[in-house]
Amino acid sequence: MEKTFENWLVVSDIDGTLNNKLRKLPKRNYNAIKEFTDRGGNFTLASGRLQSSLERNYNRITANQPAIVLNGAGLYDYRKQEMMWRSTIGEKGREFVKYISEEFDEIFKSVDIGVYFDDYVYIVKNGLLSNFTMFADKAKYEIVKSVDDVPQEGWMKVIFWSNPFTIEKLRKVISRLENPDANFMSSSILTLEMLQKDTHKGVGIMKLADMLGIEKSHVAAIGDYYNDWDMLKTVGLPACAGQAPSSIHKICKFEACHCNKGCVADLLEYIMSGKADEDIANGKI
């Protein structure tokens, strides 16, 4: 009888992991995901995107579990079309964003700010970078004059956009301020993202694993950049695309090929071959 994989949950990042550098899905990844889910495996995606922006990538593969959206701030079930779980930014975090937008206006006048809700974005200080992101993600958004014009409850993520020099200055200001109960992460040299404290992709993944009754040792995730760091440090089987930075490779227990060659397929084939279970049994994972 063919082995099945109901006891496994595998989660993939999208750009540079599921998709190649041209944001195209390698056929090898599609075929491996289909075989894995046909054999009972649980597969889904983790992304910093809104659920509507993620939906196209989700629907083009045979994902069969809720997706981790907004870098772990929410779990969205596409079959039921509802947010199953969310982690929202508290009062301290909201005050911090207002502080940056108002008190540091002279220093950070070129910083665009986006406040993300379930599937909607309020843009404060909009500019080229925020406009491009909204266009690329096909996001529903509204431009407002002040943080005071943004509803107080329901903030799931905040993005600060600017040039690399200004983003670095913003990091230094954050390091000197009292902790605003927030988790900050970099998704590119042009952005800094903010979530509620102790919220990241790994938290969302383990919430899903708990719902499915899957042990941590059989929860795998694959990514390619620093915004995947917390996710990879949290799961039982962390994996990375071949082109990931060396520091990401160092925290992973499985190193796949370059994303252009189908790195997700590498991970799934490792699991479906039975070698992952052998390595777990032998204490290698």
Q: Is residue 2 part of a domain?
A: no
Question: CA 188, CA 64: separation in Å to the nearest integer?
Answer: 29
User: What pLDDT, on a 0 to 100 scale, did the predictor assign at position 107?
Assistant: 60
Question: CATH no. for residue 260?
Answer: 3.40.50.1000
What torsion, rounded to 10 degrees, do the Cα atoms 252, 45, 277, 40 define? -170
Domain boundary among 138, 163, 196: 196
Phi and psi (nearest 5°) for 19? -100, 155
Identify whether residues 239 and 187 lie together within a single domain: no
Identify whether residues 208 and 190 lie together within a single domain: no
Rounded to an integer, the average pLDDT of 160-186 is 87
Domain holding 114, by residue range, is: 91-196
Q: What pLDDT digit, counting tens, does each position of 95-137 carry?
A: 999 988 887 666 656 789 999 999 999 999 888 899 999 998 8
Question: CA 64, CA 12: separation in Å to the nearest integer?
Answer: 13
Identify whether residues 271 and 190 lie together within a single domain: no
Beta bridge partners of 116: 121, 157
Identify whether residues 191 and 242 lie together within a single domain: no
Q: What pLDDT digit, counting tens, does each position of 59-83 carry?
A: 999 999 999 999 999 999 999 999 9
Identify whether residues 238 and 174 lie together within a single domain: no
Task: Take residue 74 and report the two structure tokens written for it.
Answer: 């929410």
Domain count, the chain: 2
Q: Is residue 159 part of a domain?
A: yes
User: What pLDDT, on a 0 to 100 scale, did the predictor assign at position 109?
Assistant: 63
Q: Is residue 118 part of a domain?
A: yes
Q: Is residue 19 part of a domain?
A: yes
Average pLDDT, the chain: 93
Of 11, 10, 19, nearest to 261 by C-alpha is 19
Identify whether residues 112 and 165 lie together within a single domain: yes
Q: Is residue 1 part of a domain?
A: no
Domain boundary among 162, 196, 230: 196
Q: Is residue 162 part of a domain?
A: yes
User: What pLDDT, on a 0 to 100 scale, did the predictor assign at position 2?
Assistant: 78
Identify whether residues 263 and 177 lie together within a single domain: no
Identify whether residues 238 and 190 lie together within a single domain: no
Question: CA 165, CA 126: separation in Å to the nearest integer?
Answer: 18
Question: CATH no. for residue 107?
Answer: 3.30.1240.10
Domain boundary among 147, 171, 196: 196
- Higher pLDDT: 79 or 188? It is 79
Identify whether residues 177 and 231 lie together within a single domain: no
pTM exceeds 0.95 for this model: no
Question: CA 106, CA 103: separation in Å to the nearest integer?
Answer: 8
Q: What pLDDT digit, counting tens, does each position of 252-267 carry?
A: 999 999 999 999 999 9
